Amino acid sequence: MELQLNRLQLIAVGAAGALALTAGGYFLGRTLSSAPQVEAADNHEEEEGHGPEGFIAMTADRARTAGIAVEQVKAGGLASEILAQGIVAPTPAGEAVLTARADGAIVRINRRLGEFVRAGDSVAIMESRDAAALSSERSSAEAQLALARSAYEREQRLYEARVTARQDLEGARAALSQAEAEARRARSAASAAKLSGDGRTLSVVSLISGRITRADAKLGAFVPAGTELFRVADPSRIQINASVLATDARRIQPGDRAVIELPDGEGRGAVVRSITPGLDPESKTATVVLEPEGSGGLSQGQGLRARILPVTADTSRIALPEEAVQSFEGRDVVFVRTPNGFQAANVAAGQRGGGRIEIIEGLRPGTVVATRGAFLLKAELGKGEAEH
């Protein structure tokens, strides 16, 4: 009886051991087969190029195509900024008015509206009786000069041969000086009138290189001297004439920084060049002349808005366009430009006004953030969070 019990116990123990080995092998096998799957998942994430939390991978070309504009953060709170409406205007050397130098008829037009001309190019040709007079005066002065020079040389030879007195030589020298002065005057008059080589026509010559922005000349028309015929402007020589209130003008000094808001949503830096000492009698505003950093995207006559930052501005805070700050998961964020995309950054927003919002904390001057189109980045970020 005891022998049978012992045999049953041995069978039970063996069965339990076999069951334990089987279970252990199952769990061991399951553990080993799971590890490669996790590793593969990690490798998949690395291949996908996922960045840190809140990062959106996007090249500069793709962002530009999507209509996302960026702006470099400038120091100065909302209360420190002076908003002004401005207009793009040519600098004093950036526009030239071409007028008729004498009475005459327009017989040829060489350039049309919008065409490019270089300094010294002939834009039109005029026939004028003054051209004949100028040509005659120049020829007469040249002849008188040649005669006076010949007489002086003859008197000098005679004086050296002791044939004539010194007084005769001095008289010939004075006559030569007078003839030289008259010849210079005649040449200058002909040059100022742009007299042609044949002496029959006058040229209307461009004073600067640029494009013709106005063309009032009509072929065959007779025009008096001083009539405006063309206007040429250099698109690279521009300035911004911004109007500000008298109270704001007192805070502005030459050299202060400014930002020009371009139509595409981007901001361009500018510097205050000068401020008019008086106010416009009609608008009661002062004009601040801004010198932009580059002329690309700006056209003469274009209206835009400028933000002027006086040197006395509060640099502890900054201001951005309202569209640059997006609400995401209950917090205010901005999208900071990085070499490979945009990184969402939490900020503390303050007061708003004039389409601008003040940033109290979370950004430093010099940082480049997305402005126009920032909501697209917010949507992309929300999409990525949902997929995750």
What pLDDT, in 10s, does the model give residues 78-102? 556 788 899 999 999 999 999 988 8
First and final CA of the chain: distance in angstroms? Answer: 68
Residue 183 vs residue 277, higher pLDDT: 277
Among 56-60, 219-223, 361-365, the range of highest mean pLDDT: 219-223
For residue 92, the one-letter residue type is P
Cα–Cα distance for residue pair 336/55, rounded to 1 Å: 9
Is pLDDT of 324 > 60?
yes
Is pLDDT of 386 > 80?
no
What pLDDT, in 10s, does the model give residues 107-141? 889 999 999 999 988 899 888 777 777 766 777 77
Cα–Cα distance for residue pair 136/185, rounded to 1 Å: 13
| Per-residue confidence (pLDDT) for residue 43, from 0 to 100 | 37
| Per-residue confidence (pLDDT) for residue 13, from 0 to 100 | 39
pTM strictly above 0.95: no
Among 26-30, 35-39, 268-272, the range of highest mean pLDDT: 268-272
DSSP 8-state secondary structure symbol assigned to residue 143: H
| Per-residue confidence (pLDDT) for residue 91, from 0 to 100 | 92
**What does pLDDT average to over the chain?**
78
With residue 65 as reference, give the H or E element that holds it. helix 60-65
Is pLDDT of 10 > 50?
no
Cα–Cα distance for residue pair 113/387, rounded to 1 Å: 57
Residue 72 vs residue 47, higher pLDDT: 72
> Which domains are delineated in the chain?
52-77+315-388 (2.40.420.20), 82-94+234-312 (2.40.30.170), 95-233 (2.40.50.100)
Is pLDDT of 355 > 70?
yes
DSSP 8-state secondary structure symbol assigned to residue 344: E
With contact defined as beta carbons under 8 Å apart, do 77 and 351 qualify?
Answer: no
The whole-number average pLDDT for the span 276-283 is 87
Cα–Cα distance for residue pair 147/156, rounded to 1 Å: 14
Closest Cα to residue 285, out of 276, 293, 298, 272? 276
- Provide, rounded to the nearest whole percent, the portion of the chain with pLDDT above 90: 18
Cα–Cα distance for residue pair 342/335, rounded to 1 Å: 6
Cα–Cα distance for residue pair 103/142, rounded to 1 Å: 25
Closest Cα to residue 257, out of 205, 306, 188, 318? 306
pLDDT class of 266 with cuts at 50, 70, 90: confident
Cα–Cα distance for residue pair 299/236, rounded to 1 Å: 9
Residue 255 vs residue 318, higher pLDDT: 255
Closest Cα to residue 261, out of 244, 240, 246? 240
| Per-residue confidence (pLDDT) for residue 192, from 0 to 100 | 66
| Per-residue confidence (pLDDT) for residue 104, from 0 to 100 | 85
Which residues share a beta bridge with 117?
210
| Per-residue confidence (pLDDT) for residue 198, from 0 to 100 | 64
With residue 5 as reference, give the H or E element that holds it. helix 2-48
Cα–Cα distance for residue pair 352/323, rounded to 1 Å: 12
Tokens of 47: 């291949």
Residue 64 vs residue 227, higher pLDDT: 227
Is pLDDT of 18 > 70?
no
Helix, strand, or coil (residue 41):
helix
Which residues share a beta bridge with 270?
258, 292
Query: What does residue 86 show for φ and ψ, rounded to 5 degrees?
Result: -135, 170
- Provide, rounded to the nearest whole percent, the portion of the chain with pLDDT above 70: 78
| Per-residue confidence (pLDDT) for residue 115, from 0 to 100 | 93
Residue 198 vs residue 327, higher pLDDT: 327
| Per-residue confidence (pLDDT) for residue 112, from 0 to 100 | 92
Place of tokens 């334990």: 20
Closest Cα to residue 360, out of 86, 39, 33, 78? 78
Residue 325: alpha-carbon gap to chain centroid: 26
Residue 224: alpha-carbon gap to chain centroid: 40
